[in-house]
Amino acid sequence: MTSSFQTFSAALLVCALLSGCSSNSTQSSQYGDFVITPPSDSQIEHSVKQQVAWMLEAFTPIAGQALPNQSVLDAYAFRDYNPIWIEKKQLNMSLYKLVDILESASSHGLNPIHYHLETLKEYLALKTPTSQQLAELDVIATIALASFAHDLSNGRYEPQLIDPNWRLDAPNKDWQNLLFLDSPAAMVNYLPTLSPRQPAYQVLQNWLEFYQETAQKEGDVFVQPGAPLRVGDEGNRVAQLRARLVQLGDIRFSTRKVNEDFFDSSLRDALMRFQKRHHLDSDGAAGPQTIQALNVSLRQRAKQIAYNLERWRWLPSQLEDNRIWVDLTDYQAHIYLNGQMESMKVIIGKPDRRTNVFYGNMTYMVTNPTWRVPMRIARENLLPKLQQNPNYLTEHGYKVFSSWSIGAKQLNPSTIAWNDIEPESMRYRFEQVADEDNALGAYKFMFPNKFDIYLHDTPAKHLFNKTYRAYSSGCIRLEHPEALADMLVAGDKTRMKQLQDARNSKQTAVISLKDPIPVYLVYFTVVPNTNGMLEFRDDIYQRDELMEEAMGYSPFSL
């Protein structure tokens, strides 16, 4: 069946979709004057269900996730295939409000073209639409409503199709409830409640609109590359620097007169604010890196914001009060427990051993843990060290076993010809005993997952002094694991005693938690800071590039 024939067949939907109309009616709007003509009985008797299916097939989604067609079919079946947007012989005014909302989809980083906006406008602009065209309008409007509701609630894209290491996706069905509300007005009014309720999302959305409007009305003010600019410098490049910082919000409007060409202390302070929120050295001088960051276009920054709005839509709409929030791009863990919050530095996976983005439930912790070396680390890290130094295992407290099976025999490492072993053929299991040199330190916090990722202590404390902290093989190293351990057992005398006994004995102990604690490993490259300004972070794992490739279009109209 050809697409044109599908569209023609779908146009026959006039019948039962307009069965509630029995007399001529004229309605005016900004789009044109409607004259609604009642259908005949023979039209009403036509197979409406088949026609709705054809219309859904004709208006397939444009890029991204597949439209949840079944929900649209169910919505019409629920109403006995009566029209949704035509009531009492007239188009419901909520349809015009829906069009206005779809026009503002770009404020969420979503593209209005995905919601058939221009098609809807073309139908609404018809002076005397036929009953067939009205039927088509009704179904297309419902398709647009359902698609936008879904994307606003769950995100438009499947994260795992963009990035195999991204496994944090919490789809919900709240958007489907919208299709079964009593009236079009109720449906349209319900739409805004579907976007993420986190304050960070709202701030990002406001800034996206700011960048969109500024790019459209003003265009970019760029700073000409050249020698670093410092306090005391003068000239046109200083004026450009000042104007750019005003444009980006780092310099607020003031009635105080300034010499725009002179680099004074207030300009230095504004530049330091810019540097800090772009993770640059905050030296107050506009060197090559700072100028490069200043000259990233407003359009590109808007895209970055849009990518992160989509990431928020992949998260649950409501976050638990008690949770552990590992912010990978900020190298921080934020622990929310029993009304308290504590933050600490973390070390995350190297770029070639990326820490997965996912969600799990922490159920127990292990004190003074032994470390069973993952096969990949054993082959890529441990074997080369053994080939250089056959005594490496003994010197660093490792045991070696014949295999990974239960009851495998412990071997004497000096009897193994390590230089004859190829990495891909090695099958030995290695375990590091619990001591001060153990790679896991004194604590391991477990939220069982298929990635074998957990939070743990580390003997390499010096790495926490670094700004860039992507050094692990995927797991999360904590700066203050003892503080997390105390928070997990606080108020529970039995578990507090178990923890203290384990600390005193230096023996391996497993302490179960009274209640599971949700653990989120999240990745954002744009976040609001405490002052409400945007913080642009390094894209450590090049995940923004994957977002840009997947989205494949400008997420807003300029």
Q: Which stretches of 297-396 are DSSP H helices?
A: 298-313, 375-377, 383-388, 392-395
Give the contacts of 49 (CB within 8 A, at least 6 positions apart): 73, 76, 77, 81
Q: Whole-angstrom Cα distance, residue 9 to residue 5? A: 6
The residue type found at 307 is Y
Encode burial over 480-489: b for 16+ CB neighbours within 10 A, e otherwise: bbeebbebbb
CA proximity to 17, closest of 87, 83, 84, 79 = 83
The angle at the Cα of 312, spanning 306 to 314, to the nearest 5 degrees, equals: 110
DSSP secondary structure, 242-278, as one string: HHHHHHTTSS---SS---TTB--HHHHHHHHHHHHHT
CA proximity to 361, closest of 166, 485, 516 = 516
Encode burial over 205-229: b for 16+ CB neighbours within 10 A, e otherwise: bebbbbbbebbeeeebbebeeeeeb
CA proximity to 139, closest of 207, 74, 52 = 52
Q: Which of 150, 456, 462, 480 is catalytic?
A: 456
Strands 455-456 and 476-478: parallel
Q: Which of 21, 114, 116, 475 is catalytic?
A: 475
Q: Is 475 a catalytic residue?
A: yes
Catalytic site residues?
456, 475
